[in-house]
Amino acid sequence: MILRINIGAFALSPELGSLVESLKGDRLFLRSTMAVHEGGSRGAIEYLGTNATPDLLIVETTALDDALFEELGALADVCSPGTRVIIIGKQNDVNLFKTLIDQGISQYFVGVPSDEELKAAIMDAFVDKYQSEKCRVIAVAGIRGGVGSSVIAHNMATELADLTKEDVIVVDLDINYGTGALNFNIQPQNTIVDALAQAGSLDEVLLNRFLEKCTDNVSLLASPGSLSTGMEISILNLEPLINMVKQMASYVVLDLPHVWNNWVQDVLVDADETVLVGTPDLYNLRDGKNIIEFLSPHRGTDAPIRVVLNRLGQIKKGEIKDKEFREVFALAPSISIPYDPDTFSAAMSNGEPISPRSKAGSAISNLAQIVSGESKKEASKGIGKAKEKGGLLGFIFKKK
């Protein structure tokens, strides 16, 4: 999960200011903006009287008993409805804590919390908003060009649809050399270029016109495969497109070109699942190490990178073993796909997915299972039920 929120902290102590600043490097807040102000609760009241309310307020106060509630009443008068509020106070009183939670305060800490405690409180405050987003975004990229990442992405999408019985949309982001239309054996009437050209005015009805139906549950936003479109992808035109696509399917598979620029980096960091495809040679070992070392600090331990080794057995001499990739990457490849040119060629010629009965197809089915998040969904159901019973957090800062 990556939060896209505005956070305003109003500190009395330098410890709280430093704590909030330290969160900026966390993957959870990659798309969030943070501002630290001085003045505590009084400073917040004064500031919000003339400025927009952020999504989350972190307010430090020394007020006790009735004085604390007077401050919160004044704060509520200048806050927009739905604002989440975390209070850092001095009074250690369980009845006070219960009263604040009942009134809609997201969390109350006695003294400055640890970074993990504050991070957990922020996640809890917005869990209702982000658990409602059912879509899972899977980014697939080649460690080097020509390693088969696109054909794996397209077959993985088909397997995802078969596995989950959910809708899957494949977005071919390689404008110049994309192969999505070829692999699905379609001739697109519209392409991603049309969608990007209208990124600012996209809605579901318009975007649906640009999608090509591949199977009952798989749709493709195709690439034109042209060198003369004049269209360039950027973070500004891609983000609204992806946000709209996410509203239309349970899974979105992003087939990335082999380039290294800001928007590609952004997609690889932001995706729920990032899959890197390579072949077992020295070049992929070196480049894969560089990519993983760049992405890992931004994605964090809760969003591991999946590595797929493709075409095992193609190189008769000098093939790098799985063990060496594991040692150099500091993570084990998720799956290995054997070299099977006949299976892939037959599928490509017929514009059909690879048979799941083949060894390569079976490996791709395993990959689809890994990135589907089905086990995480089951776990989150249990977490949600526990929170409903406990009723610990209020999500709206209620006005009296």
Beta bridge partners of 254: 139, 171
Query: What one-character DSSP code corresponds to residue 175?
Result: T
Classified as helix, coil or strand, 227 is: coil
Beta bridge partners of 109: 88
Q: Which two tokens stand for residue 104?
A: 């809609």
According to the model, what pLDDT value does residue 252 have?
98
Beta bridge partners of 136: 251
- Please, how many CA atoms are within 13 Å of residue 233, restricted to the half-sphere of its CB? 26
Q: Which amino acid is at 82?
A: G
Pairing of strands 84-89, 136-142: unpaired
Counts of helices then strands in the chain (DSSP H, E): 17, 13
Distance, in Å, from the CA atom of 17 to the CA atom of 19, rounded to the nearest integer, reads 5
Closest to 14 measured CA to CA, from 34, 36, 33, 32: 36
Q: Tell me the average confidence (pLDDT) per consecutive run of 10 residues in the chain, 400 residues long.
A: 86 94 84 91 93 94 92 90 92 90 90 93 80 81 97 97 96 97 94 94 91 95 95 93 92 97 94 97 97 91 91 91 95 94 88 89 96 66 37 36
H or E element at residue 307: strand 305-312
Distance, in Å, from the CA atom of 373 to the CA atom of 379, rounded to the nearest integer, reads 10
Query: What one-character DSSP code corresponds to residue 43?
Result: H
Closest to 29 measured CA to CA, from 116, 112, 89, 119: 119
H or E element at residue 59: strand 56-60
What are the φ/ψ torsions at residue 15 (nearest 5 degrees)? -65, -40
What are the φ/ψ torsions at residue 279 (nearest 5 degrees)? -110, 155
According to the model, what pLDDT value does residue 259 have?
96
According to the model, what pLDDT value does residue 375 have?
59
According to the model, what pLDDT value does residue 224 have?
96
Distance, in Å, from the CA atom of 220 to the CA atom of 190, rounded to the nearest integer, reads 10
H or E element at residue 318: none
CA 65 to chain centre: 42
Closest to 12 measured CA to CA, from 38, 43, 47: 38
Closest to 256 measured CA to CA, from 366, 354, 176, 369: 176
What are the φ/ψ torsions at residue 34 (nearest 5 degrees)? -130, 140
Distance, in Å, from the CA atom of 59 to the CA atom of 62, rounded to the nearest integer, reads 10
Domains and CATH numbers, the chain: 6-131 (3.40.50.2300), 136-376 (3.40.50.300)
Q: Are 167 and 217 in contact (CB under 8 A)?
A: yes
